[in-house]
Amino acid sequence: MAETNNTPLLQALAQYLSKDMYPLHTPGHKQGRYVWPIIKELTKDLLAIDLTELPGLDDLHNPQQAIAASQQQAAVLFGADRTFYLVQGATSGIQAGMLALGSPGKEFVLPRNAHRSAYAGMVMGNFKPRYLSPVMDEEWGFPLGVPTAQYEVLDKPTPVLLLNPSYEGVAPPMEQQVKMLHGKGMSVLVDEAHGSHFIFNGLLPPSAVAMGADIVIHGSHKTLPTMTQTAMAHVKQPIAERLRMFLDILQTTSPSYVLLASLDGVQGYLAKDGCEDWARAVTLAEILRRDISNLKEFQLLEDEYVRNKGMGELDKTRVVFRAGNKIDGFTLARMLREEKLEAEMCGWRHVVLIINPAEDETTIAFISQRLRRVANRIGINSARDASFNVPLIGQTAAFSDWDVVLNPRQAAFASSRMAALKETVGEITAEAVVPYPPGIPLLWPGERITQEVLERIVTLKRLGAHFQGIHDCDLNKIAIISEVKEC
Residue 101 has pLDDT above 80, yes or no: yes
* Contact partners, residue 91, CB within 8 Å, separation at least 6: 115, 117, 120
CA angle 144–148–153, rounded 5-degree value: 130
Residue 400 has pLDDT above 90, yes or no: no
Q: Please indicate whether residue 320 or residue 453 has the higher confidence score (pLDDT).
A: 320
pLDDT band for position 313 (cuts 50, 70, 90): very high
Residue 391 has pLDDT above 50, yes or no: no
Number of Cβ within a 10 Å radius of residue 39: 12
First to last CA, the chain: 48
Q: Please indicate whether residue 311 or residue 401 has the higher confidence score (pLDDT).
A: 311
Q: What are phi and psi of 228, to 5 degrees?
A: -55, 140
CA angle 189–193–198, rounded 5-degree value: 95
Residue 462 has pLDDT above 60, yes or no: yes
Q: Please indicate whether residue 47 or residue 63 has the higher confidence score (pLDDT).
A: 63
DSSP 365-429: HHHHHHHHHHHHHHHHHHHH-GGG-----STTHHHH---B-S-HHHHHHSEEEEEEGGG-TTSBB
| pLDDT tens-digit map of 248-284 | 999 999 999 999 999 999 999 999 999 999 999 999 9
pLDDT of residue 394: 40
Number of Cβ within a 10 Å radius of residue 82: 18
pLDDT of residue 403: 85
Q: Is it true that the peptide bond before 437 is cis, omega within 30 degrees of 0?
A: yes
For 158-166, what is the mean pLDDT? 97
Range scoring the smallest mean pLDDT among 234-238, 316-320, 348-352: 348-352
Across the chain, mean pLDDT equals 89
* Contact partners, residue 428, CB within 8 Å, separation at least 6: 405, 406, 411, 446, 447, 448, 449, 480, 481
Residue 174 has pLDDT above 80, yes or no: yes
| pLDDT tens-digit map of 404-424 | 899 999 999 999 999 999 999
pLDDT of residue 41: 77
pLDDT of residue 387: 43
For 135-142, what is the mean pLDDT? 86
Residues in the chain: 487
Range scoring the smallest mean pLDDT among 89-93, 222-226, 236-240, 372-376: 222-226
Separation of alpha carbons 93 and 233, rounded Å: 6
pLDDT of residue 402: 75
Q: Which domains does the chain have, with CATH numbers?
A: 8-272 (3.40.640.10), 274-387 (3.90.1150.10), 397-483 (3.90.100.10)
Please report, rounded to a whole number, the percentage of residues in the chain having pLDDT higher than 90: 67
E strand spans, 89-219: 107-111, 128-132, 135-137, 142-145, 160-163, 170-171, 188-191, 215-218
pLDDT band for position 455 (cuts 50, 70, 90): confident
Identify any residues that bridge with 132 across adjacent strands, giving them in sequence order: 111
Identify any residues that bridge with 415 across adjacent strands, giving them in sequence order: 483
